[in-house]
Structure 1
């Protein structure tokens, strides 16, 4: 090939009424959303990108990326400077506090995007799937050198537009492959749109090995435009006040009886049967399940060595989870708290319903310690998950 990126972009103006901005305004006019200047401004930026990628169909470059020496060189291999990479539309990196409407806006963009190959995925799920596919490639190609190019080829073949919800990096195993994987995706013309609570320059902050992660941050900054959603209203918390019967606190005899009644109402029986959840190379068991509803204790799900893939598999299989005995969270049970955060992310992504007994309300469940602020997003989601609007959403499996 001649080193250029070929593709097609629609230059004609969009027909009136198409795109995320008209869709947003229609929802406001219908009374489904409150007017919010910050959200409308973000929708305008998304509309600009929507116009730029209408009909986008890149023809990726052939050939592997340049090699580097050493372990870190291979894991975080630097790509050519941004200006030497093939031209492709810059994506958007949407940053804002919890509950400001980032995911809603990205959904409007994704649903209206006129790109034949597109995918919207939770970032946890994307990374879990990437690790799984790398593992399979290494097992099937024991003499192979580099699984990243074929992985990037496969992803780019299915999606010229990737929309990531909740872009965040906490795991060193994720950080180790991100630079090379995203460099390969951008080289293949993939456009990325992401929502996050964290600006790119703060990703993986304070973690060991972050210096080697900096080239990935520079790559994200070069390949996406940063957009801050400055809305001061937390809509999740507002909606969360509308219904509280799915979160029972304090965790006493009344809460236990309420969960028994909830399981009975959801399943038509007092008790379920153990259910095994299978994944490539591993499995785990939910103590009680029946008719798409699971029931487990907090320690059974968050005290065990389970990770994002396990929780995503759980949320995909069951449309409702009855969770007993969520304790107060803090530095003394930090590992369990982190797993609980990951569990709630998975449930929320699949619109899984949650009925729980807990020691406190979500906004006072994790009040002290350096990670209390990190829990604010989870508390906001827990409050939204009690709302009538959330409970009316269909399960995504």
Structure 2
């Protein structure tokens, strides 16, 4: 994908301008605005997955389902190369007006990647997007949250009209812990399938499925009810994150080291951790990607325990956006593997918290080189 395509996910941030060196930026000073008409254009794989392809996915020789998944998805992508039955030419001006009923191919029009954490589901989903022989404007990639945000911005009917001309819609981390949103998106996907759009999805574990390493395909298909006939479950076995344990986070630096590094690093931000958590409550999670636009590093002082679950879930979203964009995170205070309480790590959203710890730890390791010799 070209750099211009990758950059389409970025959005302007008002009231700030990037700096090369000198006074660092502040996330708390940023008030990002993402115009609704850009939301669809931004639905591409995140920068971390710009270069992934099926050829770069290395299957575990002990897990034959991984090799089989690559083969099936390559065939699925190749089968999407024909003319789109419900493309824009069959509709009125700007996608409005009556469309002639398309001829939807027989058989499943969707694949569901069924596997645990850390087996490469997002890698494969992004590879499918890249391999589908269609212009970027005719295929969309986003998380479940981004899709619900799109419906909120455009309205249900306009979202249907906008996405009906697409050849493929990829949904990463399908959220199954909110019945209302699940019904909304299931209804949307039903309309898109009728329009001839192919679907691919991964999903998160429901809070009630804590004893399982993954959200089973049968449960996913039951949640989406009438759509189940349109999905082919594709099992991807592999080591579950729970058997690897929590990653060991690097030791935090001092406030002075973090502050010095923020001033010496181009386009770095510097914020107090508690202040940042408060700011996240005032910015909609759909804008967290724009909140991080142009950053060379995020520097945080005074990292401490996350006080409550609502705050913790917002931090999870920010961690995902920083990880997608490969932004190093340098911090003082508490190590990232001690952010969440035992109650949180044993509760309904434990999988999200484990993912956040893993991703923030990786970004902390990336940031170690920002601190010069004492």
Residue 92, structure 1, aligned to residue 111, structure 2: yes
Q: Which stretch of structure 1 is more off in the superposition, 108-117 or 214-223?
A: 214-223
- The answer as to whether partners of 2:109 and 2:193 remain within 8 angstroms in 1 is no
- The answer as to whether partners of 1:248 and 1:255 remain within 8 angstroms in 2 is no
Over residues 237-271 of structure 1, what are the superposed CA-to-partner deviations in whole Å (9 max), with x where a residue is unaligned?
Answer: 79x77xx6xx543xxxx43123113212313xxxx
> Counterpart in 2 of 1:376?
354
1:152 positional shift: 0.8
> Counterpart in 2 of 1:129?
150
Q: Distance in 2 between matches of 1:56 and 1:320?
A: 43
> Counterpart in 2 of 1:263?
262
Q: Distance in 1 between matches of 2:321 and 2:84?
A: 31
- The answer as to whether partners of 2:111 and 2:232 remain within 8 angstroms in 1 is yes
- The answer as to whether partners of 2:117 and 2:240 remain within 8 angstroms in 1 is no
> Counterpart in 2 of 1:17?
none
1:196 positional shift: 2.2
- The answer as to whether partners of 2:297 and 2:329 remain within 8 angstroms in 1 is yes
Q: 1:307 to 1:169 in 2, by over 3 A?
A: farther
More relative contact order, 1 or 2 (CA 8 Å, 6+ apart)? 2
> Counterpart in 1 of 2:20?
none
1:40 positional shift: 1.6
1:218 positional shift: 0.9
Over residues 7-65 of structure 1, what are the superposed CA-to-partner deviations in whole Å (9 max), with x where a residue is unaligned?
Answer: xxxxxxxxxxxxxxx9545664xxxx7656342222122123123323352226879xx
Residue 305, structure 1, aligned to residue 282, structure 2: yes
- The answer as to whether partners of 1:256 and 1:357 remain within 8 angstroms in 2 is yes
2:318 to 322, 328, 343: 343
2:228 to 206, 213, 221: 221
Residue 111, structure 1, aligned to residue 86, structure 2: no
What SS is found at the alignment partner of 2:342?
coil
> Counterpart in 2 of 1:354?
329
- The answer as to whether partners of 1:91 and 1:224 remain within 8 angstroms in 2 is yes
CA RMSD of aligned residues (A): 3.8
Q: Distance in 2 between matches of 1:87 and 1:62?
A: 23
Q: Distance in 2 between matches of 1:229 and 1:167?
A: 16
> Counterpart in 2 of 1:79?
none
Over residues 167-201 of structure 1, what are the superposed CA-to-partner deviations in whole Å (9 max), with x where a residue is unaligned?
Answer: 214557734632332222222111111222338x9
Q: Distance in 2 between matches of 1:47 and 1:96?
A: 18
Q: Distance in 1 between matches of 2:83 and 2:107?
A: 9
> Counterpart in 1 of 2:292?
315
- The answer as to whether partners of 1:86 and 1:187 remain within 8 angstroms in 2 is no
Q: Which stretch of structure 1 is more off in the superposition, 169-178 or 120-129?
A: 169-178
Q: 1:46 to 1:360 in 2, by over 3 A?
A: same
1:125 positional shift: 2.3
1:216 positional shift: 6.3
Structure ID, larger Rg: 1
Residue 50, structure 1, aligned to residue 28, structure 2: no
Q: 1:177 to 1:260 in 2, by over 3 A?
A: same
What SS is found at the alignment partner of 2:254?
helix
What SS is found at the alignment partner of 1:368?
helix
> Counterpart in 2 of 1:149?
157
Q: 1:228 to 1:339 in 2, by over 3 A?
A: same
- The answer as to whether partners of 1:323 and 1:354 remain within 8 angstroms in 2 is yes
The gaps in structure 1 that reach 5 residues or longer are 1-21, 64-83, 135-147, 203-212, 268-290, 392-397
Q: 1:315 to 1:185 in 2, by over 3 A?
A: farther
Aligned residues between the structures: 285
- The answer as to whether partners of 1:248 and 1:356 remain within 8 angstroms in 2 is no
The gaps in structure 2 that reach 5 residues or longer are 1-51, 93-102, 210-219, 370-374
